Structure 1
Amino acid sequence: MMKEQCRQEILDLHRFFEEWFAGRLPESDEAFARATVALGEAFVLVSPNGRLTDRHTLMNGLRGEHNGRSHFRIWIEKFQLQQQQGDIAIATYEEWQEIGDTVTSRQSTAVFQQDFATPNGVKWLHVHETWIE
């Protein structure tokens, strides 16, 4: 069951990012709530350069990027549920981004916890990204 929840959450949150960055969503608390409800309070992102970003810092950065990338596209490939123990799941996927003429990709590992108060029934606890060259 968590496999489909995690897959759909990854797709949906990245779709939100694309819409938010491109300015196709209103710059409102209601629209931004898609991100705030999905990320756990202790969420941490390890970016491809090794920098750790806590939830608060990430949310402030995302909020400030509204309509900041008009020619931005993001898509997900090769999703796999690697492991599930109780209400915790670990998934991997490739995240591809196109900004103007530049395409980048990263291998991502995400840790989820089941939480039925979120849009897809799982919340993000941790993400670790590594550049794909």
Structure 2
Amino acid sequence: MTSTLLDIARQEIVELHEFFVRWFVDDGSPAPDFSRFEKAMAADMTMIPPEGVILDRAAVVEHVRSARGKVAGDFSITIEDVWSAYEDQNSILACYVEVQWRNGQWSRRRSSVLLSKNSSAPLGIEWRHLHETWLQAPNASQAV
């Protein structure tokens, strides 16, 4: 059975968020391979987090790199409702809801990501643009 671009996008979104949990929580295990994250980010990647600023790839990579082990162990991320808003032969605009559990509280954000085919990316697609909007904001002390 051949995977659709939506199937690959869903797997990429889930796997990258699983990486984030392992990266942000230092449970004493060896750190996950950071290159997995870097290889998934396109050279011209941009991100608009819920606060509305525009971040380039360098800022996103540095933010994630500097957050190693900075989240308490009571942390999880679940991805829900992945669907395609647009796709062609080489790219997909995937939308999803990211649900975080942290310090006994939930937060939720709706995200859209433009993923493009790139054979050197971990699953063959790379993150080109990510835009996140709060559905349920965490306390200010919880933002990552």
Q: Normalized against structure 2, the TM-score is what? A: 0.86
Letter of the structure 1 residue corresponding to residue 6 of structure 2: K
What is the Cα deviation at residue 52 of structure 1?
A: 1.0
C-alpha distance in structure 1 between counterparts of 2:41 and 2:30, whole Å:
20
Matching residue of 1:69: 71
Letter of the structure 2 residue corresponding to residue 5 of structure 1: I
Letter of the structure 1 residue corresponding to residue 98 of structure 2: E
C-alpha distance in structure 2 between counterparts of 1:130 and 1:61, whole Å:
18
Pick the aligned partner of 1:26 from 30, 42, 54. 30
Letter of the structure 2 residue corresponding to residue 56 of structure 1: A
What is the Cα deviation at residue 26 of structure 1?
A: 3.1
C-alpha distance in structure 1 between counterparts of 2:43 and 2:20, whole Å:
19
SS in 2 for 1:132: strand
Q: Answer whether contact 2:22 2:31 (CA < 8 A) is retained.
A: no
What is the Cα deviation at residue 89 of structure 1?
A: 0.8
C-alpha distance in structure 1 between counterparts of 2:30 and 2:57, whole Å:
22
**Runs of 4 or more consecutive aligned structure 1 residues displaced over 2 Å after TM superposition:** 24-28
SS in 2 for 1:79: strand
C-alpha distance in structure 2 between counterparts of 1:53 and 1:10, whole Å:
19
Letter of the structure 2 residue corresponding to residue 3 of structure 1: L
Identity %: 28
Q: Answer whether contact 2:114 2:127 (CA < 8 A) is retained.
A: yes
Letter of the structure 2 residue corresponding to residue 51 of structure 1: V
Segments of structure 2 that go 5 or more residues without pairing to the other structure are 137-144
What is the Cα deviation at residue 27 of structure 1?
A: 4.1
Matches within 5 A, 1:1-133: 1-24=4-27, 26-27=30-31, 31-70=33-72, 71-133=74-136
Segments of structure 1 that go 5 or more residues without pairing to the other structure are none
How many equivalent pairs are there? 131
C-alpha distance in structure 2 between counterparts of 1:33 and 1:91, whole Å:
23
C-alpha distance in structure 1 between counterparts of 2:123 and 2:84, whole Å:
15
